[in-house]
Structure 1
């Protein structure tokens, strides 16, 4: 894919570009300034590892994937390093065992832990993917006390889910992020961190735009994954995500409401299934699979949405009609739009 014009600079590395017997040594040299990588017994058969990294206006994101390994950050490496950082380690998939000077901790899929780069550690990684978010002490000196209090602890609070969503989205959408958006996203992430580690009224207020965008993204993703459930409604979403009805109504207010978003998501999923030539399911089966319980209501709503009936989908496609563009705004879209409106005083 061609790099988007003015997009942020992405750095990356993969051992897939190296002959298998040299893969472990190659990645060891890449990470050597940061940690000593220990060779596992299976490394002679090849060692899969890759990373992508980018800077978000002073916040460093590294998305790491690899086979199982052992690593160590020694005092000698710390003395040679100029990294005066905290880091949030987010285990997206896998399991990690870390030993610090007088403390050991196990992190698994979904866990976030705050660690200092100025402290030695030994680690056993069982393989998978991990995101490291580096927080420069100079940039985050204003919340140093809150971060220092949380060092070497697994982050667990009411905003943890939003932190996961934000970090995952930034990593997954990094290739779409432009230089013009960096400051907006950096400020939004900083506000979310402050609200997560020190949830004062001021911090929560400053993070309100970020929180609403994150909640909207979480709710939309939950809706997408639960379209088949007839009980998918406001109460079900609130109970599952731990949101109040008022909060859920507020985040969907400018998007037509919760019920409209559920209906639109179901209709778009049905359209996608009906237009898939490899899917030979009956119209009624597809409708029921996506939560519709009335065929007459489904047909009417489908035609209102797309301009033709469910049974006419294949006919319209073969007649070279323009297909509806089905896209879902991401967290970055919501944040950049909301912040742009605020900056213009809308």
Structure 2
């Protein structure tokens, strides 16, 4: 078994003069969030953060003093980070707001965070951990997972997994490289066992056969995204199933054609970020069967909150994090293959 790619990043305010510590931390967090002090001016400001990439996952561990965090639409448009985070509260508490909904996170609570949606929080001093997973990896198992943005998990399985994530932060620096593949696989399996409890009663989540059927359809759709002839009838025929079965498989996505449209949009977005296809937006969208440039732009903005031109114009340079001795969280997340 090949070893997973491991990339480490460490930040400690003790490595910087006291008067510059918060500004240094603000610069580190600028990759994903805006931060501000939340305690009194008498509170010493201290941060310790470590980040590891394990295969398709990123794990973080942190010791934080009181502060507020905000991920705005501007952050989302600028950084192109398209992942889900499972945020674990260790010691201390965190008040979180997603839209009009608020939650108070306590020890061993796990909150689901969709990085493509805004969120705000205010934390007391304490320790935390986060597991980041690429969107496509999660939504292959749990369709339209973004609807759980802000959800807090507090059941016994969540508490067990929360302790596992927090323990990784203290154990990873001392594990031999040979232990990492098994740890990565076990963590991924625990994550999905925990997340599947969100939909434990759904038809598709309770059948390995149905899951295999949906994956077969998804692979076929991926191979046909540039075909203008794709339809429920052609997909059902190619995958040897009835249209009724196909509908049930993709009902959580809003139907198979809604799923196709979203996959086309995500494929085009990846093309624009990579910046290797220099053709016009109209030519690229036409390749993916959008009726017109206006229709494509409208659907793109609805899906991502920004125009295709903004994504192409504001792209960040693509960086190979594995080639760097140190890489911040934003660089490491963007290096994942979703």
TM-score, normalised with respect to structure 2: 0.53
Contact map agreement 1:98 1:121 (CA 8 A) in 2:
yes
Contact map agreement 2:112 2:150 (CA 8 A) in 1:
yes
Shift of 1:78: 0.6
Q: Which residue of 1 aligns with 2:55?
A: 57
RMSD between aligned residues: 2.5
Q: Which residue of 1 aligns with 2:23?
A: 25
Q: Which residue of 2 aligns with 1:38?
A: 36
The change in CA–CA distance for 1:177 and 1:139 in structure 2 (over 3 A counts) is: farther
Shift of 1:40: 4.2
Q: How does 1:42-191 map to 2 (within 5 A)?
A: 42-43=40-41, 46-145=44-143, 147-191=145-189
Structure 2 distance, partners of 1:111, 1:37, is: 22
Shift of 1:9: 4.1
Contact map agreement 2:82 2:135 (CA 8 A) in 1:
yes
Shift of 1:67: 1.1
Q: Which residue of 1 aligns with 2:321?
A: none
Q: The residue matched to 2:142 in structure 1 has which SS? A: helix
Structure 2 distance, partners of 1:62, 1:50, is: 11
Task: Write the deviation string for residues 192-250 of structure 1: whole angstroms up to 9, x where unpaired.
Answer: 222222256678xxxxxxxxxxxxxxxxxxxxxxxxxxxxxxxxxxxxxxxxxxxxxxx
1:11 to 9, 23, 45: 9
Structure 2 distance, partners of 1:165, 1:48, is: 23
Q: Which residue of 2 aligns with 1:230?
A: none
Structure 2 distance, partners of 1:191, 1:41, is: 38
Shift of 1:122: 1.9
Contact map agreement 1:7 1:178 (CA 8 A) in 2:
no
The change in CA–CA distance for 1:64 and 1:101 in structure 2 (over 3 A counts) is: same
Q: The residue matched to 1:88 in structure 2 has which SS? A: strand
Shift of 1:126: 1.2
Q: The residue matched to 1:152 in structure 2 has which SS? A: coil
Q: Which residue of 2 aligns with 1:301?
A: none
Shift of 1:144: 3.3
Q: The residue matched to 1:173 in structure 2 has which SS? A: helix
Whichever of the two has the greater Rg, that structure is: 1
Task: Write the deviation string for residues 53-109 of structure 1: whole angstroms up to 9, x where unpaired.
Answer: 101111111112111112211110110112111111100111101122222111112
Gaps of 5+ in 2: 209-338
Contact map agreement 1:8 1:179 (CA 8 A) in 2:
no
The change in CA–CA distance for 1:153 and 1:141 in structure 2 (over 3 A counts) is: closer
Greater relative CO, 1 or 2 (CA 8 Å, sep 6+): 2
Q: The residue matched to 1:94 in structure 2 has which SS? A: coil
